[in-house]
Amino acid sequence: MGLLDNLKKKKELQRLEKAAEESPSPQTFSALAERCFQVGDLERALEVAEHALKQFPLSDKVQATFKYIRKAQLQAKIRELNEVIRKNPNPVAYGQLAIIYKDMGETHKAVDVCRELEDRFPLSENSYMIIGEIREKRFREDLLASDGERAMTNLEHALEINPHNYKALLMLAEIYVRIGAFTLAIERLEKITSFAPTDDRVRNLMEECRELVNPDAEDEVEWLFRDVENKKRFANDIREVEEEGGKLIAPAEGPGPAAPAAREDTVKRRLERFDKLPGFLGALAVDRDGKALADKVPFHVNRESFDATIQKVYAVAHNAALRMDVGAFLRAEVRGGFGQLLLSYGDGIILGVMAEAKTRPELLEQAVKQALSGVSAATA
Amino acid sequence: MTQFDPILDKLKDVVGVRGSMVVTGDGIVIASRLGHDLEEERVAAMASSVIRGTQNALEALGQGKFARYVLTAVHGKMVFVDVGPAFVVVLTEKNINLEATLLDIDAAARKVKAKGEIKIGG
């Protein structure tokens, strides 16, 4: 029976291989990759999925198959590394495990592994580097001062262990450029040129920093990080490759051109649609700082109290997200005897909508999504 | 060891759950099972601030308590479920299957509630 089964599986694989070869399509490639995966040939499954992704990069089916197989492969690697750590703990295995979690987007697990690495091998720079990279990425995405400061602390710590860590020096220099701390950026770039004098990008970056530096005008690093968070943008942007005749460093552009009044008008118009939502109890749009932009409240609800409630719920949620170090607020769903309240972030605004318990949650969800979509585009 | 620890232990095994606790609205921790990167005091203070702040805000509208609250941020989620005199608070990774995880969380909350009267400090 086992032999027959194997023969059947082999024939099925051959059939799918032939189909993919003769009529290559997202379906034939995905079917082949999935079959390889099912028979336990992970390597071949990934090879087929990668090939399919190159051939059909826009296919949802191919993308989903690739992601699924890649995740399974990483999970196999995680099991293998955990086994190595159990039998023969070493910094390399810990580092690889943390990087896999980081790449999978499971940053809390990556940080957990790094902490264990730090405890067991305090002279390894890996844990500080990985946490530094996670924080640096978050800082670029969310512009929160705490992420930037933690990126800086971890990367500086990695440099204490290995002063010639190129990656740490460059990442730190770029953070300092982004916040406008050119003096500190120059120090880190000079260190790189001491052991990599032919690195043109670093040399050019250093020259530009020297042109822009004004030590008397530079604030404390702590304030520069806060300034980024408050203004919701970096002081400077860095280009990867120098454009012809252009510069690597450019002052960061401010928020979009939409005038606040025009934006409020657009939001107000969008809120009018909530009249049609069954069980609608009120809607308020606020900006990231909690400032009210526009509202729509039925006559039987006290407008002032409603607006104050939404603003308070948002302020509490926003603070909780920051306190728990989980990044910026995206959404809050509150349900109870009163009905339901959905606060959702999109396109630069937070929209809070309250509805009765009888309102179908998917209708509320859809209405909020529609109201939030393309506010900037409509305003511009 | 509290009577709620086995429930929270089981919840900790759910994929993507970083930790959970049973806590009163005043921030008194009754039981907790948190990951290495979560400090009990900090989570309890945050939970108290969310529970009391949100309920106070709703009371201004004459609306009172909430039964369940799911807060989503860029890098993680927090869930608060009312279990009578206290709340079950769960912190998760960002990439979780929320629908499935909420089923586990609701099941845990029902068990906590079913364990009977929650004695503060017990």
Picking from A26-30, A70-74, A137-141, A190-194, which range would have the lowest pLDDT averaged per residue? A70-74
pLDDT for A380 equals 42
- A32/A48 Cα distance (integer angstroms): 7
The phi and psi torsions of A318 (rounded to 5 degrees) equal -60, -45
pLDDT for A240 equals 77
Of A262 and A129, the structure prediction assigns the larger pLDDT to A129
- A248/A191 Cα distance (integer angstroms): 19
Tell whether domain A264-378 is in CATH 3.30.450.30: yes
* Tens-digit pLDDT profile for residues A41-54: 888 898 999 899 88
**Alpha helices in chain A, H assignment, sequence order:** 2-22, 26-38, 42-55, 60-87, 91-103, 107-120, 126-142, 145-161, 166-179, 182-195, 200-212, 221-231, 260-272, 303-323, 361-372, 375-379
Q: Taking CB atoms and an 8 Å limit, are B72 and A331 in contact across chains? A: yes
Q: Taking CB atoms and an 8 Å limit, are A334 and B53 in contact across chains? A: no
The phi and psi torsions of A5 (rounded to 5 degrees) equal -60, -45
The phi and psi torsions of A50 (rounded to 5 degrees) equal -65, -40
- Asked if B1 reaches chain A (Cβ–Cβ under 8 Å), the answer is no
Residue count of chain A, please give it: 380
Question: Which of A130, A324, A330 is the mutation pick for testing B, counting most B CBs within 10 A?
Answer: A324
The per-residue pLDDT of chain A, averaged, comes to 88
3-state SS class at A340 = strand
pLDDT beyond 70 at A272: yes
| Contact (CB, 8 A) for B77 and B89 | no
How sure is the predictor about A256, in pLDDT bands with cuts at 50, 70 and 90? very low
* Tens-digit pLDDT profile for residues B15-54: 889 999 999 999 999 999 998 778 999 999 999 999 999 9
pLDDT for A245 equals 65
pLDDT beyond 80 at A333: yes
Nearest CB among A106, A115, A324 relative to B95 is that of: A106
User: Do the two domains A2-78 and A126-251 of this chain adopt the same fold?
Assistant: yes
**What pTM does this model have?**
0.74
Centre a 10 Å sphere on the Cβ of residue A181 and count the other Cβ atoms it contains. Answer: 25
* Tens-digit pLDDT profile for residues A159-200: 999 999 999 999 999 999 999 999 999 999 999 999 998 999
Mean pLDDT to the nearest integer, A32-48: 88
The topology (CATH level 3) of A2-78 is 1.25.40
User: What is the DSSP code string of A72-103?
Assistant: HHHHHHHHHHHHHHHHS--HHHHHHHHHHHHH
Q: What residue ranges do the domains of chain A occupy?
A: 2-78, 126-251, 264-378
Look at strands A339-346 and A329-336 and give their pairing: antiparallel
Closest chain A residue by Cα to residue B78? A321
pLDDT beyond 80 at A246: no
- A245/B18 Cα distance (integer angstroms): 50
Range A50-66 burial, b when 16+ CB lie within 10 A, else e: ebbbeebeebeebbebb
- Asked if A312 reaches chain B (Cβ–Cβ under 8 Å), the answer is yes
Q: Taking CB atoms and an 8 Å limit, are B37 and A107 in contact across chains? A: no
Closest chain B residue by Cα to residue A144? B74
Which burial class, exposed, middle or buried, applies to A22 when counting CB atoms under 10 A from its CB (0-12, 13-18, 19+)? exposed
Closest chain A residue by Cα to residue B54? A313
Find all residues with CB under 8 Å of A14, minimum gap 6, and list them: none
* Tens-digit pLDDT profile for residues A122-169: 999 999 999 999 999 999 988 999 999 999 999 999 999 999 999 999
pLDDT for B117 equals 60
Mean pLDDT to the nearest integer, A304-308: 93
Nearest CA among A126, A127, A132, A124 for reference residue A114:
A127
pLDDT for B119 equals 56
Mean pLDDT to the nearest integer, A280-295: 92
Q: Taking CB atoms and an 8 Å limit, are B91 and A324 in contact across chains? A: yes
- Asked if B97 reaches chain A (Cβ–Cβ under 8 Å), the answer is no
How sure is the predictor about A258, in pLDDT bands with cuts at 50, 70 and 90? very low
pLDDT for B95 equals 76
Question: Is ipTM beyond 0.90?
Answer: yes
pLDDT beyond 90 at A270: no
The phi and psi torsions of A379 (rounded to 5 degrees) equal -80, -35
Look at strands A349-355 and A339-346 and give their pairing: antiparallel
pLDDT for B98 equals 85
**Alpha helices in A232-324, H assignment, sequence order:** 260-272, 303-323
- A62/A72 Cα distance (integer angstroms): 15
Give the tokens for residue A142.
Answer: 């969310």
pLDDT beyond 50 at A115: yes
Closest chain A residue by Cα to residue B75? A326
The CATH label, of 2.130.10.10, 3.40.50.720, 3.40.630.10, 3.30.450.30, for the domain at B5-114 is 3.30.450.30
- A293/A7 Cα distance (integer angstroms): 68
Q: What residue ranges do the domains of chain B occupy?
A: 5-114
| Contact (CB, 8 A) for A125 and A98 | no
- Asked if B18 reaches chain A (Cβ–Cβ under 8 Å), the answer is yes
Superfamily of domain A126-251, CATH level 4: Tetratricopeptide repeat domain (1.25.40.10)
How sure is the predictor about A379, in pLDDT bands with cuts at 50, 70 and 90? very low
Which burial class, exposed, middle or buried, applies to A246 when counting CB atoms under 10 A from its CB (0-12, 13-18, 19+)? exposed
Long-range pairs of B59-65 with CB within 8 A, sequence gap ≥ 24: B60/A305, B60/A308, B60/A309, B60/A312, B61/A301, B61/A302, B61/A305, B61/A306, B61/A309, B61/A338, B63/A309, B63/A336, B63/A337, B63/A338, B63/A339, B64/A336, B64/A337, B64/A338, B65/A336, B65/A337
